[in-house]
Amino acid sequence: MQKLIKIIDNLAAEIPNANSLHIEISAANVAWHIEHSCLVIIKISETILKSNPANYKPSFSFKKQLVFFTGKFPRGRANAPEVVMPQDNLSVEHLEQSILNAKAAIQKLTSCDKNNYFTHPIFGQLNIQKTFKFFGIHTSHHIHIINDILAFQAS
């Protein structure tokens, strides 16, 4: 959990760059990537808290194994579900609150049964341990995009 909190802190450190955008890297600005990453954590956590651990059934997925082994998502391959799509014109204050909400959501998951879960559309059911790993990979993916946006602007 502490590793995930550090990753979220790295995300929070990019809030001053919220309006940065480079269309060749991403159609979305830095604020969108921050908010999307937080929404993923918050919304998935809400689903996990409502799940019944007795219904958890792990399954094999080659794509899941590949992503979890490499720790990377391919860029531009998937579209985010509507529920985790950020609104336009995100303020610094809103982003700061989203970071706090994401951290609180993670904290709530620490009291769950290890087999509370959510169902990912590609990876199948992910229990708490796998979800934390997913959160880390997903958030790091967006931090890399943010870093590329900022590096492209700096050059």
pLDDT higher than threshold 70 for residue 155:
no
- Nearest of 119, 146, 142 to residue 38 by alpha carbon: 142
Residue 135 belongs to what domain range?
Answer: 2-18+25-154
* Percent of the chain topping pLDDT 70: 99
Q: What is the C-alpha to C-alpha distance for residues 41 and 84, in angstroms, rounded to an integer? A: 9
Model pTM? Answer: 0.94
Mean of the per-residue pLDDT values of the chain: 95
Q: How far is CA 15 from CA 33, 93, 116, in A?
A: 10, 9, 32
Whichever domain contains 137, its CATH number is 1.20.120.450
Number of domains in the chain: 1
Q: Look up residue 71 and give its two tokens.
A: 């720790």
